[in-house]
């Protein structure tokens, strides 16, 4: 289970190839976002269509990849110029 306190959620702006699995997404976190993909934070990615969301998380024991596909509609995704990333403190209570 994902801990509810101190978890940071990072939204990767721009489009990601949704064929990627955990290893490729973790590499993107390290090279593009300059963060440790194995540090317990959540990293979220979406593709061009906007109907698929992938979230990676490492729980200290293993890698987790969560996927959500919308049947209708799109995820509302922030657009930040220059490819900057947005950090949110998750209110899980």
Domain coordinates of the chain in residue numbers? 8-78+85-89
CB contact at 8 A, 11 and 77 = yes
The share of the chain scoring above pLDDT 70, in percent, equals 81
The residue-averaged pLDDT of 63-73 equals 95
Residues 6+ apart with CB under 8 A from 40: 3, 7, 57, 58, 59, 60
pLDDT of 41 reads 87
Q: Is the pLDDT of residue 6 over 60?
A: yes
Q: Calculate the alpha carbon distances from 13 to 2, 4, 5, 16, 26 in Å.
A: 23, 24, 24, 9, 15
pLDDT band at 56 (very low <50, low <70, confident <90, very high): very high
């Amino acid at each position: 289970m994902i801990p509810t306190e101190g978890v940071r959620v990072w939204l990767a702006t721009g489009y990601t190839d949704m064929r990627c699995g955990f290893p490729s997404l973790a590499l993107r976190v390290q090279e593009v976002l300059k963060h440790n993909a194995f540090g317990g934070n959540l990293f979220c990615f979406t593709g061009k269509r906007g109907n698929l969301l992938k979230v990676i998380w490492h729980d200290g024991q293993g890698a987790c990849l969560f996927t959500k596909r919308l049947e209708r509609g799109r995820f509302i995704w922030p657009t930040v110029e220059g490819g900057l990333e947005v950090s949110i403190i998750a209110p899980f209570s």
